[in-house]
Amino acid sequence: SESQATKLHTHDTLPVSNQPITSTPQSPYPVTRSTEHVQLVKHQALTKHITVESASACCNELVGLRLECAGWNFVDEAASLRTATIKRNINIFVGSLEVTLPSRTTFENNNIEIVLFEDACDCISDLLSITDKLIYLVLSATLGVSVVPLIHNHRCIEHIYIYQVPDEEESIDWIQDYPKILGSESSIDMIANRIKEDIDLIMKRSSRWSRSKELLAELCSQAKQTSISASINDVLDDNLNTLRIVLLYLGPRQPFHLSHNKIRIDEFRNIEQCIHSIQADNSITVFLIISMNEIKDVHHVQSIAELDAVHAIYIVTDLESYEQIQPLVPYSKLSGIFVLNEDLLEQLTTDICFYRQIRIITPNMNVFKIESNTCAELTEHQINFLRFQLFSTILSQLPTQSTAASDTENIDQLRSRLIEANTTISNLFKNFNKSILQISATKLHEINQRIVSLAKNVDSSTVTVYRAQLVSQKDLEMIKTNPNALLTLQTFILASRSFRSIANMCRRAADNQLTVVLFELNLSERASVVDLNSDTVVFNLGTLFRLVSTDPTPDGVWRAQLEFANNAMQYIKNQLQSEIGSRLTWLTFGNYLTAIKQFPTAEEYYQYLLDILPSNHPSLASVYNNIGLMYAAIDKNQEALESFEKALQLAITPLPIVIGQAKTSKPDLSSSQDSPIEKINILNKIAEISCRQGDYTTARDFYHQALEIADDVQSRKLYKAKIDALAHFDDTC
């Protein structure tokens, strides 16, 4: 189709650059380069081009992407550009409390402030007032036991170093409770050297994005462990129509173009036309390649980078112009600066693969503010919050074709299954339907059972663990503007006890211009976790936290403090239960969805139950009754009648009920059941709907049947009054 075919729009005649390009000698033999995701083959014979010849499953559709060089050879003298680094612009504060660093201690960076404190109160006050510097603090074990608890959770504290006076035998077991403490040393020189090494480590980054499989695996597992990368789901359900590649030529045109039979590729010479085109298709993600040779065009890069649809920018220049273009490296969305060779195509394909995978593995997050009438008017975030939390509650009860969860798998296998399960959850809540639920339910049920069986309460009054969380700009604004709200992540939450490893992970993500939040999860003794190893923990599905604060840090990473808040969900459940009249179970989950007006989701869930339950299951009558209630709530009276009639055929246990409720604009779920359905309820509902449709004879007949089995005086009087009213065709139902 036209939307899938390559589109090459040339809006002006493009003059070819007269500048010389250092290039590889012409060779009749193709040269192959294997990358993380694809295999590139470069041809330097008559037609000079580089082609994606094969690819991993996650980006197999990129096979055939072709970079063609017209009239020149590809540049080869660019190896040093691949390893080029730039300095991070981070301000550093090195403080020492009653510990004097060696006088010869010097740092290469000019943006480092060193302060010696002689008073603990002054030290604490000054450190807590710092908001624009990363803090490295040295203090003695004697002072640390009282000072560290007061400053440890300050978002700018990067590392704490404990100096243990030689020959003193004071216990330092307490330091194990504070992840930002990097052990203890009895040598001031060793501490000074370690501070220098730690600062040097964070002050440099690559001049190009490195959105690698390793980074993706670390973000999934919250651990520096690349062996689990294979468990990341390689099968993606979105196609290449969700993205496009745009080439913009500024100044003399570089002699190249891209082509592919499925990806939309547009070429522009006019900046205004390029911007207009991107804005016109704002829902399509853009990977933008800009050919430029002069720094005077920098304002164009700035203006186009501000467009929401632009995901990544690649600047292509020649070796002679590279140095003057280099200052653009820190610019927003700039993946890198390239000369014309395989590096450009490798970076482009790597970024596309990472972008497609991150959309799948990044969990949705939602917030919920509890107010006096919480469930009256729900926002989209609150509805999504409730859908996930309610599902998490009934998952352990959910009917599936499940087998018993294995208790023999090792921790690495469990971690891999968790990552797969998290991808499954993301897919399920992106498009909740019976087919996906049938595929997902067994897997989620089994892994949930395994986690529940291993979970135990934390073993101290307060514990802090950390998580590197990629977020969208929309989600970042949501958590910034909702302090004290409840937060849920639609995932089995993995976290680490190592602040250092998570901080480094966040910094790497920020270097790749990913929006990342470092979550500090403060737990209490009520929190239940599974220890995957000495560093990594996982929480039960549906674990809730309350947002305490969200603030930026000097290294470009947002930091959010959260506290364990599972008990808050009970208040919300109580409100819903009061409205619905039944406690939350797998049988009434659909009624809860109906109560929050999630009718399509409720219908899909009921269809799942009808498919999964055997024909003789004792709860089928209740399922059909609840389906009838859902259809009645959306005025699908005929479908409601059919469902109630099926329920009536299955209901054989007449139980007394009290009828007569105030009319409400909310869905009537008063007859929803988490136990065998009462026949009299179904008769009453059929009569009500028949009356609503004007079929008074049928309505009167079903009220008569209800009257015959009613065994309390109040119900009999009410049914007799309804029958008498219908005798005069007076619609009082």
Q: What is the DSSP string of 340-389?
A: SSHHHHHHHHHHHHHHHHHHHHSPPEEEE---TTTTTS--HHHHHHHHHH
3-class SS shares of the chain: helix, strand, coil, % to 5: 40, 20, 40
At 195, which amino acid appears? I
Domain boundary among 571, 603, 638: 571
574 membership: H or E segment, kind and range: helix 568-580
Query: Helices 213-221 and 342-361, interaxial angle, to 10°?
Result: 20
pLDDT of residue 663: 35
Cα–Cα distance measured from residue 347 to residue 35, given in angstroms and rounded to the nearest whole number = 10
Render the burial of 491-523: b for 16+ CB within 10 Å, e for the rest. Answer: bbbbbbbbbebbbbbbbbbbbbbbbbbbbbbbb
Q: Are residues 433 and 556 in the same domain?
A: yes
Of 206, 204, 205, 203, residue with least CA distance to 91: 203
Q: Are residues 549 and 400 in the same domain?
A: yes
Q: Are residues 626 and 520 in the same domain?
A: no
Q: Are residues 80 and 97 in the same domain?
A: no
pLDDT of residue 346: 93
pLDDT of residue 430: 85
Cα–Cα distance measured from residue 52 to residue 32, given in angstroms and rounded to the nearest whole number = 10
Cα–Cα distance measured from residue 288 to residue 32, given in angstroms and rounded to the nearest whole number = 25
413, part of any domain: yes
Three-class SS of residue 428?
A: helix
Q: Are residues 329 and 388 in the same domain?
A: no
Q: Are residues 391 and 536 in the same domain?
A: yes
pLDDT of residue 266: 95
25, part of any domain: no
Cα 619 off chain centre by: 36
pLDDT of residue 231: 46
259 bridge partner residues? 66
**Number of compact structural domains in the chain:** 4
Cα–Cα distance measured from residue 432 to residue 428, given in angstroms and rounded to the nearest whole number = 5
Cα–Cα distance measured from residue 149 to residue 522, given in angstroms and rounded to the nearest whole number = 13
Range of 494's domain?
A: 365-571
Can you give the pTM of this predicted structure? 0.84
Tell the burial category of 299 from Cβ atoms under 10 Å away from its Cβ (0-12, 13-18, 19+): exposed
Over residues 301-333, the pLDDT tens digits come to 788 888 999 999 999 988 887 777 877 777 889
pLDDT of residue 387: 94
CB 398 within 8 A of CB 211: no
24, part of any domain: no
Q: Are residues 452 and 586 in the same domain?
A: no
Q: Mean pLDDT for each consecutive 10-residue tract of the chain (733 residues)?
A: 38 39 56 90 84 85 89 71 83 93 74 92 96 95 94 94 83 88 90 92 87 91 66 52 91 80 92 93 93 76 88 89 78 88 93 89 88 73 93 93 62 84 89 90 92 83 87 92 93 94 93 94 86 91 94 92 91 86 92 94 96 90 93 93 90 42 41 59 88 87 87 85 78 49
Q: Are residues 566 and 456 in the same domain?
A: yes
Domain boundary among 305, 329, 360: 360
Of 64, 431, 57, 4, residue with least CA distance to 240: 4
pLDDT of residue 524: 81
pLDDT of residue 392: 95
